[in-house]
């Protein structure tokens, strides 16, 4: 099945289901190693032994939504809230640029204190100051009109994980006000507007079944996003999911590899959540076929406040200030940092 998946980039749903069941088996260690190796080879064919870096600026942890899994949900009264000014965001970019970064990811909750114009102004200022840099937005669901405004202001990419492609499961993770249908509409708008678009999902979120995961894979195949974000679910103590179990390292790596085989040219990050559940998580993600990392470029004072889940890492090699540490970790597995803009191959 792995061979056929690698050769054709897809399998019928029933076979994807069987493949996942087999690979999730505790004893399937050798089978998983074949999968990882195959996915890694596919990644290296397109991107070489290189990993793109993005500077992640978490500019606001205010959010109007109340997703059951997320630490910065509106209902979490214990979260200490902050928002950065345009000037503070530009300072982060200045620092990031000096460190060699050429993509800035502006991520935040759905914070209505910034008007669409405010966001557009921030994007335009970054693009004017550093024309050779890419700007990625990751600020949730908005109108097509706003997405258009930001695209015209110069935004290049947009990350909006679909979280789960199963309707009922979506309803278990989110309050009724949010819908999979609207999330998917947003993703199609973003694609149409010419954004390099990222979707993705958590592995091991409460209520997730293998059938849900097959739907995720099917949805991604249909959407054909340029970027795909996959990380384990990790509980946060001040959410309704506080006592749920986290997603597993193995299952996350398996999904990363399968997604790589189904999307040979996708930009696939080895996520912070993966490196939070395992000390070697980031490297293992790369060895399973990922080719992007997103070190933290937020100001020191706010890093600890953007707690999507417990113990979220933002220090050491997770910090943009320590790219040297990151580089030596990569060197140890035979990879180097690629300081280019790292556009999707189809956009170059």
What one-character-per-residue DSSP string does 205-218 give? -TT--HHHHHHHHH
Nearer to ligand 5AD among residue 11 and residue 294 (C-beta): 294
| Least Å from the CB of residue 317 to ligand 5AD | 19
Residue among 56 and 323 whose Cβ is closer to ligand 5AD? 56
Of positions 35, 70, 106, 258, contacts ligand 5AD by CB under 6 A: 70
Residue 161 or residue 329: which is nearer to ligand 5AD going by CB? 161
Q: Shortest gap between Cβ of 161 and ligand 5AD (angstroms)?
A: 4
Q: Minimum distance between the CB of residue 159 and ligand 5AD, rounded to whole angstroms?
A: 8
Asked if 271 and 291 touch (Cβ cutoff 8 Å), the reply is no
Nearer to ligand 5AD, 219 or 330 (CB): 219
To the nearest 10 degrees (0 to 180), the angle between helices 13-24 and 249-262 is 150
First to last CA, the chain: 32
Distances in Å between the Cα of 194 and the Cα atoms of 33, 108, 150, 158, 161 are 37, 21, 11, 10, 17
Out of 202, 258, 292, 302, the residue judged to bind ligand 5AD by CB under 6 A: 202
* Residue with smaller CB distance to ligand 5AD, 2 or 70: 70
CB of 92 to ligand 5AD, least distance (A): 18
Nearer Cβ to ligand 5AD, position 234 or 266? 234
Pick the binder of ligand 5AD from 36, 147, 309, 335 (CB under 6 A): 309
Q: Give the count of residues interacting with ligand 5AD (CB under 6 A).
A: 12
Residue closer to ligand 5AD, measured from CB, 42 or 184: 184
Q: Which is nearer to ligand 5AD, 156 or 163 (CB)?
A: 163
- Say which DSSP state 129 is in: H
Only one residue has tokens 């399968």, namely: 258
- Looking at residues 223 to 252 of the shown chain, list those that interact with ligand 5AD (rule: CB under 6 A): 231, 233-234, 236
CB of 272 to ligand 5AD, least distance (A): 9
> What residues contact 286, with CB distance under 8 A and at least 6 apart?
40, 51, 270, 293, 330, 333, 335
Identify residues 137-196 at the interface with ligand 5AD (CB under 6 A). 161, 163
Closest distance of CB 262 from ligand 5AD, Å? 19
Going from the C-alpha of 323 to that of each of 3, 54, 112, 291, the distances in angstroms are: 36, 11, 33, 16
Nearest-approach distance from CB 309 to ligand 5AD, in angstroms: 4
d(CA 266, CA 42): 11
Phi-psi region of 153 (alpha: psi -120 to 50; beta: other; left: phi over 0): alpha
From CA 154, how far away is CA 254, in angstroms rounded? 35
Whether residue 258 contacts residue 214, with contact meaning beta carbons closer than 8 Å, is answered with: no
DSSP 8-class letter at 261: H
Minimum distance from CB of 334 to ligand 5AD (Å)?
29
In the bound complex, what is the minimum distance in angstroms from residue 59's beta carbon to ligand 5AD? 13
285 touches ligand 5AD (CB under 6 A): no
Task: Pick from 36, 52, 69, 114 the residue near ligand 5AD by CB under 6 A.
Answer: 69
Query: 317 CB contacts (<8 Å, ≥6 apart)?
Result: 282, 295, 325, 326, 329
Stretch 24-63: interaction string toward ligand 5AD, x if CB under 6 A: ----------------------------------------
The sign of the dihedral angle between the CA atoms of 278, 71, 321, 127 is: positive
Q: What is the binding site for ligand 5AD (CB under 6 A)?
A: 69-70, 161, 163, 202, 231, 233-234, 236, 273, 308-309
């Amino acid at each position: 099945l792995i061979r056929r998946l690698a050769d054709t980039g897809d399998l019928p749903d029933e076979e994807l289901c069987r493949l996942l069941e087999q690979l999730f088996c505790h004893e399937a260690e050798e089978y998983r190693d074949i999968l990882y190796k195959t996915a890694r080879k596919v990644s290296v064919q397109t991107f070489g032994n290189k990993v793109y870096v993005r500077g992640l600026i978490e500019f606001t942890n205010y959010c109007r939504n109340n997703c059951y899994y997320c630490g910065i949900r509106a209902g979490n009264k214990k979260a200490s809230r902050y928002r950065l000014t345009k000037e503070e965001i530009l300072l982060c970019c200045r620092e990031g640029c000096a460190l060699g970064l050429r993509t800035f990811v502006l991520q935040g909750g759905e914070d209505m204190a910034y008007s669409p114009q405010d966001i557009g102004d921030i994007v335009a200022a970054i693009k004017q100051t550093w024309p050779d840099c890419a700007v990625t937005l990751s600020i949730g669901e908005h109108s097509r009109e706003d997405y258009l405004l930001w695209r015209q202001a110069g935004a290049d990419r947009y990350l909006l994980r679909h979280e789960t492609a199963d309707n009922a499961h979506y309803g278990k993770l989110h309050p009724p006000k949010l819908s999979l249908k609207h999330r998917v509409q947003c993703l199609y708008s973003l694609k149409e507007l010419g954004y390099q678009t990222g979707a993705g999902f958590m592995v091991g979120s409460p209520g997730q079944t293998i059938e849900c995961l097959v739907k995720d894979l099917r949805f991604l195949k249909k959407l054909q996003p340029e970027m795909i974000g996959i990380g384990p679910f990790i509980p946060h103590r001040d959410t309704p999911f506080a006592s749920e179990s986290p997603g597993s390292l193995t299952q996350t790596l398996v999904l990363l590899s399968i997604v790589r085989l189904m999307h040979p040219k996708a930009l696939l990050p080895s996520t912070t959540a993966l490196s939070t559940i395992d000390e070697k998580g980031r490297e293992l993600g790369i060895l399973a076929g990922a080719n992007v990392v997103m070190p933290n470029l937020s100001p020191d004072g706010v890093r600890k406040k953007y707690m999507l889940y417990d113990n979220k890492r933002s220090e050491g090699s997770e910090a943009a200030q320590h790219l040297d540490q990151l580089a030596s970790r990569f060197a140890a597995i035979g990879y180097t940092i690629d300081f280019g803009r790292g556009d999707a191959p189809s956009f170059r």
